[in-house]
A and B are shown apart, each in its own frame.
Chain A
Amino acid sequence: ETGVTQTPRHLVMGMTNKKSLKCEQHLGHNAMYWYKQSAKKPLELMFVYNFKEQTENNSVPSRFSPECPNSSHLFLHLHTLQPEDSALYLCASSSQGDNEQFFGPGTRLTVL
């Protein structure tokens, strides 16, 4: 609908698992973002990529590892997560110089 897709939509993983979240945008944007959305809390910006280069890392623990192979794809690799990492992870994209971001539907992550 928004031109930003995310897979999987739901993910349940144990604390020792390794998994990856995928985001793809079909809008020709050159900036992509990862956000964490927890219940009753504001969106937390995690990572920002501009033209495939990481421009922002908001003190995110190293158990979250982003990857941006090109301007259309963004991954978030997960390893040895904690239960408090359970949240909705949202991907967004925008054009450079444009503040409006287009969000994907999110991946609902549950860490057991």
Chain B
Amino acid sequence: GESVGLHLPTLSVQEGDNSIINCAYSNSASDYFIWYKQESGKGPQFIIDIRSNMDKRQGQRVTVLLNKTVKHLSLQIAATQPGDSAVYFCAEYNNNDMRFGAGTRLTVKP
């Protein structure tokens, strides 16, 4: 079946470095994507979204890139801070069908 997945389960970066978290999806009909951040003991929190008619979208310190050719989504975090330590997962949407990735745990080293 089709699924949403992440390339790496864990990512460790130095404070101040940039982070890149990847997500692969296999449903070419998906037209909307969201990145969520989930800190320990909390529910997922919306970070940024992108529609399939775009290939890049920027927020505050975060950028999402969408490559529909290879069905790949990435989240870039600039100047990673200790407060960015969390699990990040992507979600893909196709009409009313949504699927979530398992998540990547980002650890920021001081």
Contact = CB atoms under 8 A, between A and B. Distances in A.
A100 B46 contact: yes
A105 B49 CA distance: 21
Interface stretch (A13-21, A36-44, A67-75, A76-84): A36-44
Interface string A68-112: 000000000000000000000010100000011111111000000
Secondary structure of the A side of the interface?
loop
Contacts of A103: 43-45
Interface in B61-105: 89, 91, 93, 98-103
Interface residues of B, number: 20
A99 B43 contact: no
B41 interface: yes
Contacts of B49: 99-100
B13 to A, nearest CB: 21
B45 A42 contact: no
A90 B93 contact: no
How many chain A residues sit at the interface, stated as a range, is 10 to 19
A46 interface: no
A62 interface: no
B9 interface: yes
A100 B46 CA distance: 7
Contact of A102 (B41, B46, B103): B46
A42 B43 contact: no
A45 B46 contact: no
Interface of B: 4, 9, 32, 34, 41-46, 49, 89, 91, 93, 98-103
Interface of A: 2, 4, 40-43, 45, 90, 92, 99-106
6 contacts: A42-B4, A42-B100, A42-B102, A45-B98, A99-B49, A99-B93
